[in-house]
């Protein structure tokens, strides 16, 4: 038997897979070969040390697993597919839109209070009498030179209320610019 064959037999012996006939042949070779005998004893020593190492390296404690295990038998929960997430997002958007549908029809800018005044019926306007509690404001404006002021009436929906806009008009004829306006400017 060659030493290479003896090495293979020793490996099989360590694995517990060496037949009896080959074990006898190996023993005969080991009695004649000191190198193979030393190699076998060293490998057996290593194997024994590893077995002792396995004994002392058993976990003495096990910390609780941070991953929650399902009680129904499925250890791992597979991730939801993409279409499920998309369907969930569409559903949430639909529900949110239905709940806020009233906000869509309200104007963002409220109209002026004057424009929101209710138009009174013609009969009510004809018989309208000033109410004691109604608020009436009157502004008196004295125009010194009527020709210099442009008065523009601005009627409202309420026939009793009229707004007058006063635009000052500057006459160029009365205040002509001097011809030599720029002559006294410093150079």
Partner 1 sequence: MRPRLLRLAYRLLWNVHDAEEITQEALATAWRRVSQLNDPGKRNTWLYRVVINLSRNRLRRQGPRFVPMQTSEEPDPYLAAGRIEQDELMDRVRRAMVDLPARQRAALTLRDMEQLEYTQIAAILATRESVARILVHRARAGVRRILLMRWPESFSDFDR
Which positions touch partner 1 (CB under 8 A)?
11, 14-15, 37-39, 41-47, 49-54, 56-63, 65-67, 76-79
Selection from 123, 94, 113, 127 nearest residue 157 by Cα:
113
Interhelix angle 34-56/20-32, nearest 10 degrees: 120
Q: Residue holding tokens 């404001």? A: 137
Query: Which residue's CB is nearer to partner 1, number 15 or number 182?
Result: 15
- Residue 53 CB neighbour total at 10 angstroms: 9
Q: How far is the CB of 109 from partner 1 (least distance, A)?
A: 51
Query: Which residue's CB is nearer to partner 1, number 78 or number 111?
Result: 78
Query: Which residue's CB is nearer to partner 1, number 77 or number 116?
Result: 77
Query: Which residue's CB is nearer to partner 1, number 45 or number 96?
Result: 45
Q: How far is the CB of 89 from partner 1 (least distance, A)?
A: 20
From CA 90, how far away is CA 84, in angstroms rounded? 10
Q: How far is the CB of 96 from partner 1 (least distance, A)?
A: 30
Q: How far is the CB of 26 from partner 1 (least distance, A)?
A: 15
Query: Which residue's CB is nearer to partner 1, number 45 or number 87?
Result: 45
Could you give the angle at the alpha carbon of 148 between the alpha carbons of 145 and 149, nearest 5°?
95
Contact assessment for residue 40 and residue 27, using Cβ atoms and an 8 Å cutoff: no
Q: How far is the CB of 93 from partner 1 (least distance, A)?
A: 27
- Residue 33 CB neighbour total at 10 angstroms: 16
């Amino acid at each position: 038997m060659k030493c290479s064959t003896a090495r293979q037999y020793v490996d099989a012996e360590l694995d517990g897979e060496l037949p009896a006939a080959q074990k006898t042949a190996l023993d005969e070779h080991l009695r004649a070969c000191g190198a193979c005998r030393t190699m076998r004893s060293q490998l057996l020593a290593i194997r024994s040390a590893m077995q002792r190492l396995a004994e002392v390296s058993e976990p003495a404690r096990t910390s609780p697993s941070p991953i929650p295990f399902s009680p129904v038998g499925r250890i791992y929960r597979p991730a939801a597919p993409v279409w499920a997430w998309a369907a969930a997002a569409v559903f949430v958007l639909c529900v949110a839109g239905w709940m806020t549908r009233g906000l869509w029809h309200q104007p963002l800018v409220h109209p002026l209070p004057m424009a929101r005044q209710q138009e009174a019926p013609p009969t009510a306007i004809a018989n309208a009498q000033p109410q004691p509690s109604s608020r009436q404001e009157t502004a008196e404006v004295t125009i010194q030179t009527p020709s210099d002021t442009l008065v523009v009436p601005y009627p409202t929906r309420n026939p009793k209320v009229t707004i007058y806009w006063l635009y000052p008009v500057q006459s160029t004829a009365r205040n002509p610019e001097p011809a030599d306006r720029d002559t006294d400017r410093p150079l």
